[in-house]
């Protein structure tokens, strides 16, 4: 059971910077996630969408990383959205109240439409 490496690729979709995450969001994702967020900010987009479609594992350290991103975006007054979460992780985001500070959408299309 090889651990799936974390990946984060930034692209633009209708003026929203989308970060396609993949693999495992854990301690090993720290530097890449940070770099991807900086890259997304550099595109000048006012909204950043974290796409969890290809993520299969998030642990408490991963949650801490996402909270870290939200803290940054709050300071910069930037909107962060999320889509593609499985039912399990959607629930975890609700329990931890991360969902209160990051709108969760079923899929990318809905998220892009809602992005201000």
Partner 1 sequence: MTALTRFLRRKPKVEQPDEAAGPRTPVESAAVDISPNDPLIAYFQSATGAVELDGLELESPAKEALKEAGMKLVVPLISQGELIGLLNLGPRLSERDYSGDDRKLLDNLAAHAAPAVRVAQLVRQQEVEVRTRERIEQELRVAQLIQQQFLPKELPNLPRWQVAAYYQPARTVGGDFYDFIDLPEGQIGIVVGDVTDKGVPAALVMATTHSILQGDAPRLVSPAEVLKHANDRLYPEIPARMFVTCLYMVLNPETGHLRFANAGHNLPYVRSEGRVTELHATGMPLGLMPDMTYEEKEAVLEPGQSLLLHSDGLAEAHGPGDEMFGFPRLMGLVGASEGGTSLIDRCLNDLHSFVGADWEQEDDITLVTLERSAAPPSMSASASNSTHTLAEFTVASEPGNERIAMERVMEAVKELDIDKSRLERLRTAVSEATMNAIEHGHHNRAELEVAVHVAASDEDIKVRITDHGGGRETPGEIETPDIEAKLEGLQTPRGWGLFLIKNMVDDMQVSSDEHTHTIELSLKLKGDGHGS
Residues near partner 1, by CB under 8 A: 1, 3, 27, 57, 59-61, 63-65, 67-68, 70-71, 74-75, 87-88, 91-92, 95-98, 100-101
Considering the complex, state which of residue 41 and residue 63 has its C-beta at the smaller distance from partner 1: 63
Considering the complex, state which of residue 41 and residue 67 has its C-beta at the smaller distance from partner 1: 67
Backbone angles phi, psi at 83, to 5 degrees: -145, 165
Strands 7-13 and 16-25: antiparallel
From the CB of 71, what's the least distance to partner 1, in Å?
5
* Beta carbons within 8 Å of 59's beta carbon, 6+ residues apart: 24, 25, 26
Q: What's the rounded Cα separation, in Å, for the pair 31 and 95?
A: 26
Considering the complex, state which of residue 54 and residue 57 has its C-beta at the smaller distance from partner 1: 57
């Amino acid at each position: 059971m090889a651990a799936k490496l974390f990946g984060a690729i930034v692209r633009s979709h209708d003026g929203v910077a989308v970060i396609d995450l993949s693999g495992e969001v854990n301690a090993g994702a720290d530097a890449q996630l940070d770099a991807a967020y900086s890259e997304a900010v550099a595109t000048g987009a006012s909204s950043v969408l974290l796409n969890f479609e290809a993520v299969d594992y998030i642990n408490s350290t991963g949650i801490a990383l996402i909270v870290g991103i939200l803290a940054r975006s709050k300071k910069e007054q930037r909107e962060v959205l999320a889509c593609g979460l499985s039912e399990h992780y959607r629930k975890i985001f609700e329990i931890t109240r991360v969902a209160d500070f990051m709108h969760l959408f079923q899929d990318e299309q809905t998220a892009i439409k809602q992005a201000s």
